[in-house]
Amino acid sequence: MSYLSKNLKMKVIYVVLILLSYVEEYFSLHSSRTCKPCRSLCCLHGFCYQDIHTLKHKCACYRGFTGENCDTEP
């Protein structure tokens, strides 16, 4: 094996390892996780999730409840 092919092979492996670390970080950030302990009615009448674009926690309300914290009944 020539020096150039060994060098190229090492560079390709290095780039692949970097890309794999980015993919792992992306999925660890965007995987579905439960939110930190709720301090609102969101947990009583809905559930909390993390928005993948803003990384902020949001409430998703169960049927019959609305509002930012799932505290409004129709």
> pLDDT (tens digit, 9 = 90+) per residue, 4-29?
688 888 888 888 777 777 666 555 44
Structure token digits, residue 17: 């390892």
Name residue 48's beta-bridge partners: 59
| pLDDT, average across residues 17-45 | 58
Q: pLDDT category, 46, cuts 50, 70, 90?
A: confident
Q: pLDDT category, 2, cuts 50, 70, 90?
A: confident
Q: Which residue has the higher pLDDT, 1 or 15?
A: 15
- CATH class given for the domain over 33-74: mainly beta
**pTM for this predicted structure:** 0.39
Q: Where are the domains of the chain?
A: 1-31, 33-74
Structure token digits, residue 37: 């302990």
